[in-house]
């Protein structure tokens, strides 16, 4: 994790004609109303603007999520209510399906995590836990320190594997399954906080020789800063090492400028799902301005839509299976942390959380992304479609300043119910109208918005 991103992604606003729009009632961020859906069965058939082809399938989705606090004591972890807000599927909740947590090098700190992780597993739906270590215990390392990088001593590889396994087994003993365990957070970054250096070859050697000792979880490499493939390629190219991992992961810091916000054919070749496991951007606050608690702040919304949500969309188009933001509770994140200088209320849902929920709440684990085509009317939209649970779900970004009404979505079979949800500068996870006729649904989506169409077949 970097406390301040080195280079914010450039906000780009598409100026092309859009498809889909319809303002719904503006909602306060912390008080999103229960969804209400209006349908009009008599809508006339017309030429499709978005055509979904479920016969062509892409990646399977593992989920969308964020991290718990990595440092601090038990009092600093998510409360039960905060965890429920983040993972729940009810009104005003965000539907996260991945919770990332740290693996402290000090085992007596592991108990701090139990309440929030147990709540996430029991209250959420199919929630996965990702455990990421920032460092090994200091005496395992060449610099005898938790901070400023340093390498794992060669004669401590087995001890480190046992350390990771002990963490997994500790939580298993508390009835919490750790689904995925990373070998190292950011092996290419050595700041003056918890960190540890690895090369791609060292990571491959470790998982090849020691990976099987970490039981009841699936290992991940390598969570590099910019999803640098040189940290994961050596493991993927070694059959014995490859057999000991379940996933490859990486972060988005400078990844796009390096060409790494893109498909990863080598990982796909070997059936290893790719996860984006951290990004943190809040350039909008300048020098600590009190803007984040205001749901209609334009600067915050533009950063959310043009940077954060755009990269979620692009990650899905790149065939990645998960997108995990940095802290779930922070003034620039999904629920507020209550820091007065930034204007948020602790535990209250923020606009960025509502925007993220357009993916996390409706694109569920196990869904598959499917092919779609767009008409010229829809060419300015950024759209992905998914199939699962007897539904077809579309997430639509309209980053244009223009709005187009009456966009027609065509799917391969008759739709029994259509739902539509939208987040924009003036709306927060608000429900909107749909017009349903057989295998077509007509919706309208506002300018500068992200929206979700949920079609029950």
Q: Where are the domains of the chain?
A: 29-57+368-456, 62-360
Say how far residue 140 (Cα) sits from the centre of its chain: 32
Ramachandran region, residue 100 (left: φ > 0; alpha: ψ -120 to 50; beta: rest):
beta
The superfamily CATH assigns to domain 62-360 is Glycosidases (3.20.20.80)
Q: Which residue bears the tokens 């004591």?
A: 73
Rounded to two decimals, the pTM is 0.91
Best CA proximity match to 99, nearest among 75, 134, 124, 136: 124
Q: What is the pLDDT of residue 4?
A: 40
Q: What is the pLDDT of residue 287?
A: 72
8-34: per-residue pLDDT in tens?
333 333 333 333 333 333 333 334 444
Residues of the chain with pLDDT under 70: 1-44
Measured CA to CA, the distance from residue 228 to residue 218 in angstroms comes to 21
- Compute how many other C-beta atoms are within 10 angstroms of the C-beta atom of residue 384: 21
Q: Which pair of tokens denotes residue 346?
A: 């602790």
Say how far residue 159 (Cα) sits from the centre of its chain: 32
Buried b (16+ CB within 10 A) or exposed e, 76-109: ebbeeebbbbbbbbeebbbbbbbbbbbbbbeeee
Q: How far is CA 154 from CA 198, 279, 361, in A?
A: 12, 31, 44
Q: What is the pLDDT of residue 44?
A: 56
The CATH classification number of 29-57+368-456 equals: 2.60.40.1180
273-310: per-residue pLDDT in tens?
999 999 999 999 887 789 999 999 999 999 999 999 99
Measured CA to CA, the distance from residue 172 to residue 163 in angstroms comes to 14
DSSP-derived 3-state class of residue 349: strand
């Amino acid at each position: 994790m970097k406390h301040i991103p080195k280079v914010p992604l450039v906000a780009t606003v598409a100026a092309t004609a859009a498809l889909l729009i319809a303002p719904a009632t503006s909602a306060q961020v912390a008080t999103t109303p229960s969804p209400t859906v209006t349908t009009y069965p008599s809508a006339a058939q017309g030429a499709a603007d978005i055509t979904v082809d479920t016969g062509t399938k892409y990646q399977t989705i593992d989920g969308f999520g964020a991290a718990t606090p990595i440092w601090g004591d038990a009092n600093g972890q998510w409360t039960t209510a905060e965890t429920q807000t983040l993972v729940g599927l009810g009104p005003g909740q965000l539907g996260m399906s991945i919770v990332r947590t740290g693996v402290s090098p000090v085992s007596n700190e592991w108990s701090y995590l139990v309440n929030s992780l147990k709540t996430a597993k029991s209250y959420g739906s199919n929630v996965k836990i990702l455990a990421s270590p920032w460092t090994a215990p200091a005496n395992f390392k060449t610099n005898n320190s938790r901070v400023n990088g340093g390498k794992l001593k060669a004669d401590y590889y087995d001890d480190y594997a046992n350390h990771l396994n002990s963490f997994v087994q500790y939580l298993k003993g508390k009835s919490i399954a750790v689904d995925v365990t990373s070998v190292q957070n950011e092996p290419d970054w050595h700041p003056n906080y918890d960190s540890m250096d690895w090369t791609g070859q060292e990571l491959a050697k470790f998982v090849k020789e020691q990976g099987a000792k970490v039981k009841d979880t699936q290992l991940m490499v390598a969570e590099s800063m910019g999803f640098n493939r040189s940290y994961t390629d050596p493991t993927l190219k070694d059959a014995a090492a490859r057999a000991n991992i379940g996933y490859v992961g990486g972060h988005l810091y400078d990844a796009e400028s390096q060409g790494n916000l893109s498909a990863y054919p080598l990982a796909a070749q070997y059936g290893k799902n790719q996860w984006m496991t951290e990004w943190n951007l809040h350039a909008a606050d300048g020098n600590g301005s009190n803007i984040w608690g205001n749901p209609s702040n334009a600067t915050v919304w533009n950063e959310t839509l043009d940077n954060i949500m755009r990269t979620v969309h692009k990650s899905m188009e790149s065939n990645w299976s998960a997108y995990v933001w940095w802290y779930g509770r922070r003034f620039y994140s999904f629920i507020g942390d209550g820091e007065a200088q930034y204007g948020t209320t602790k535990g209250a849902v923020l606009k960025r959380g509502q925007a993220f929920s357009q993916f996390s709440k409706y694109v569920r684990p196990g869904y598959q992304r499917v092919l779609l085509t767009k008409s010229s009317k829809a060419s300015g939209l950024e759209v992905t479609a998914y199939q699962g649970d007897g539904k077809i779900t579309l997430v639509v970004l309209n980053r244009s300043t223009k709005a187009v009404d009456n966009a027609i979505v065509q799917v391969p079979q008759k739709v029994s119910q259509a739902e539509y949800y939208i987040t924009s500068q003036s709306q927060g996870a608000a429900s909107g109208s749909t017009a349903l006729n057989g295998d077509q649904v007509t919706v309208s989506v506002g300018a500068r918005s992200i929206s979700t169409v949920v079609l029950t077949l």
